[in-house]
């Protein structure tokens, strides 16, 4: 649907006003070199506003609200990342005073890689995420197949519960989980985090697997079976080429989500040996060598989801951009 002229003009005015305010604040209140960042953001927003006025009365399907949203999302994402990089590259004993990095040093990255605390926490995160992902995918794939293919009553209600579980505050369950782990004598164990992590990974895996199953041409499976294909032939001719890429993408997304969950680790890991890395960076920063090492470890951990986004951008966008009908 082509956006209305009024909608484009409102988006243009909002973008221009935000850019004008950011530019004036940057010029009057911010010192160099950070002042250039404010001016750059101001120029981009004001140019977006001007372009919105020029394209307001055209038939092109361009939403300037969407463009403004992407720009603001980029600002609120890149600025914290830039500050984290500045903290990570600031020399030891120096407090960063500007957003832009000054006197860059890479010692904090070496410290993060050589820190026993951070390496142990990273190992915990990877182990827990791997086990939780394997269990989740073994359960999610047949569950998604049943929700999409089998003529069962109430499948929309079941799917609604899956989506509701995704929105559930996991940290609120840490108290009951902790009580159960204490009773079982497993409180503080690395492997004890696997079952609570399923609260995050299993509904996510089902939700994404449903999208994969909905996009499959199931008539091809019927044709393969009608030709008398064996199980191995059905696997090679249908399951691997049609389901394999989507299932692999879902598995990687679930694994990354499990690696980056901090709520379960912060609530159920009482000491340093059992803390996963996100929880360590959140609540145990005083146990490592300064804030620079924590910031450096956070940036290194960010490479995992960044690599996934760079390798599979279209499949990820397809999975996350679809809804269940």
pLDDT at 61 over 80: no
Give the Cα separation of 248 and 242 in Å (integer).
11
pLDDT, the chain, mean: 84
Torsion-angle region of 95 (φ positive above 0: left; ψ -120 to 50: alpha; else: beta): beta
pLDDT at 228: 78
Residue 237 DSSP class: I
Torsion-angle region of 237 (φ positive above 0: left; ψ -120 to 50: alpha; else: beta): alpha
User: What is the CB-side half-sphere exposure of residue 303 using CA atoms within 13 A?
Assistant: 5
Give the Cα separation of 140 and 155 in Å (integer).
14
How many residues are there in the chain? 325
Please provide residue 57's backbone torsions phi and psi, each rounded to the nearest 5 degrees. Answer: -105, 25
Distances (CA, A) of 191 to 32, 86, 273: 50, 35, 12
pLDDT at 93 over 50: yes
Position of tokens 């690599």?
307
Read off the pLDDT band of 251 (50, 70, 90).
very high
Position of tokens 């996100």?
278
Give the Cα separation of 173 and 276 in Å (integer).
18
The more confident residue out of 147 and 267 is 147
Give the Cα separation of 182 and 235 in Å (integer).
44
Give the Cα separation of 212 and 243 in Å (integer).
7
**Cα dihedral 286→290→294→299 (10° resolution):** 170
pLDDT at 322: 55
Q: Report residue 242 as tokens.
A: 């049609």
Least confident of 106-120, 122-136, 183-197: 183-197
pLDDT at 238 over 50: yes
pLDDT at 309 over 90: no
Are 214 and 148 contacting, i.e. CB atoms less than 8 angstroms apart? yes
pLDDT at 325: 43
Read off the pLDDT band of 317 (50, 70, 90).
confident
pLDDT at 324 over 50: no
Give the Cα separation of 122 and 192 in Å (integer).
16
Least confident of 71-75, 91-95, 102-106, 134-138: 91-95
Q: Report residue 180 as tokens.
A: 């159960």
> Average pLDDT, stretch 69-93?
89
Q: Report residue 106 as tokens.
A: 């890479």
pLDDT at 287: 46
Q: Beta-carbon neighbour count of residue 246 at 10 Å?
A: 19
Residue 240 DSSP class: I
Are 159 and 210 contacting, i.e. CB atoms less than 8 angstroms apart? yes
Position of tokens 């372009």?
51
Read off the pLDDT band of 225 (50, 70, 90).
confident
Tens of pLDDT, residues 115-158: 888 888 899 899 999 999 999 999 999 999 888 888 878 888 88
Read off the pLDDT band of 183 (50, 70, 90).
confident
Distances (CA, A) of 292 to 98, 201, 262, 272: 15, 31, 20, 19
pLDDT at 2: 57
pLDDT at 323: 44
**Cα dihedral 96→98→104→108 (10° resolution):** 40
pLDDT at 288 over 60: no
Give the Cα separation of 186 and 193 in Å (integer).
9
pLDDT at 12: 93
Read off the pLDDT band of 56 (50, 70, 90).
confident
The more confident residue out of 305 and 171 is 305
Tens of pLDDT, residues 20-30: 999 999 999 88
pLDDT at 284 over 80: no
Give the Cα separation of 260 and 241 in Å (integer).
30
Alpha helices per DSSP H over the chain: 5-29, 34-54, 64-88, 107-114, 116-149, 155-166, 174-184, 194-214, 218-226, 231-234, 244-259, 263-268, 277-283, 290-311, 313-320
> Average pLDDT, stretch 267-287?
69
pLDDT at 270 over 70: no
pLDDT at 194 over 50: yes
């Amino acid at each position: 649907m082509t956006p209305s002229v009024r909608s484009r003009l409102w988006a243009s005015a909002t973008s221009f006003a935000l850019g004008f305010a950011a530019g004036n604040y940057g010029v009057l209140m911010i010192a160099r070199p950070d002042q250039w960042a404010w001016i750059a953001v101001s120029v981009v927003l004001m140019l977006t506003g001007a372009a919105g006025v020029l394209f307001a009365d055209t038939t092109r399907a361009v939403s300037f609200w969407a463009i403004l949203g992407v720009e603001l999302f980029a600002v609120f994402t890149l600025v914290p990342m830039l500050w984290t990089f500045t903290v990570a590259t600031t020399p030891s004993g120096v407090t960063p005073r500007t957003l832009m990095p000054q006197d860059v040093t890479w010692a904090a990255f070496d410290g993060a890689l050589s820190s026993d605390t951070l390496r142990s926490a990273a190992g915990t995160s990877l182990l827990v995420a791997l086990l939780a992902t394997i269990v989740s995918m073994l359960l999610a794939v047949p569950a998604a197949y049943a929700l999409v293919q089998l003529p069962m009553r109430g499948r929309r209600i079941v799917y609604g519960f899956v989506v509701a579980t995704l929105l559930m505050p996991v940290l609120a369950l840490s108290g009951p989980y902790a009580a159960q782990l204490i009773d079982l004598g497993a409180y503080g164990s690395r492997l004890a985090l696997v079952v609570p992590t399923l609260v995050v990974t299993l509904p996510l895996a089902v939700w994404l697997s449903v999208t994969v199953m909905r996009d499959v041409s199931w008539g091809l499976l019927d044709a393969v079976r009608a030709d008398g294909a064996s199980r191995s032939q059905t696997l090679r001719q249908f399951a691997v080429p049609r389901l394999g890429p989507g299932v692999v993408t879902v598995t990687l997304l679930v694994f990354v989500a499990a690696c980056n969950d901090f709520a379960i680790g912060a609530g159920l890991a009482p000491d340093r040996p059992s803390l996963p890395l996100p929880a360590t960076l959140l609540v145990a920063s005083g146990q490592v060598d300064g804030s620079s090492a924590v910031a450096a470890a956070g940036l290194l951990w960010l490479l995992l989801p960044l690599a996934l986004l760079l390798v599979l951008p279209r499949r990820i966008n397809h999975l996350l951009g679809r809804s269940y009908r």
